[in-house]
Chains A and B, each alone.
Chain A
């Protein structure tokens, strides 16, 4: 599919490939609400607020929200709450669900690297088209 018509993009990180849906104009808003919801779930006393949060907590909740909202496909199982060699533990009666609460703790670094790569890609799509140069996303 030509890139201007594509509705998804791939991000490679630590030997795995993650396919994300290209966000729409609602990106900032839906990401903001979902990350607040994640902070609220992870620490209910804070009520999702950004006040008093350090940048690391804020950014991590945003990266978790990115995975929950936009991940379509992956070559690894951890976003769905399983280790790659845990294929036999997958409950075939329940559909897959990306939830930060199921991310294995040893994948925290992956959340950071994938989230940063996702942001870089999104920045490319948000850049205005330049009629004299390469189109956005190229």
Chain B
């Protein structure tokens, strides 16, 4: 499964049944980071995207509560974007980059 997701076959890879759930989650998450247009990874039991859930909430709220909700979600999304930006600056894993933020191709072969 992991090799299918990654687009290649690993002859030394373990059979699917030998992978733990955490290992499979890791492979799927990395695949979604590499190819976000093709794969998406949602951790846990979150079945709907946040955007969809927020749209549903804005459908069921009316009046002043709706205005407050829109203001609240705007602030929440803004804070989430700032957090994500800080995480990226902190050197987390990114497609094509090492943990230190250097391009993979620029690494010293030694």
Contacts and interface: CB of A to CB of B under 8 A. Distances in A.
Interface of A: 17, 19, 71-77, 80, 84, 87-88, 90-96
Contacts of A76: 65
A33 B77 CA distance: 40
Given A90-B72, A95-B53, A96-B57, 4 more contacts: A75-B62, A75-B64, A80-B60, A95-B52
Report the 4 A-B pairs with minimum CB-CB distance, sorted nearest first: A75-B63, A95-B56, A95-B53, A73-B62
Given A73-B59, A80-B60, A92 B65 contact: no
A73 B61 contact: yes
B72 A87 contact: yes
Interface residues of B, number: 21
A92 B73 contact: yes
Interface of B: 46, 48, 50, 52-54, 56-57, 59-66, 68-69, 72-73, 76
A74 B61 contact: yes
Contacts of A95: 48, 52-53, 56-57
Contacts of B76: 92
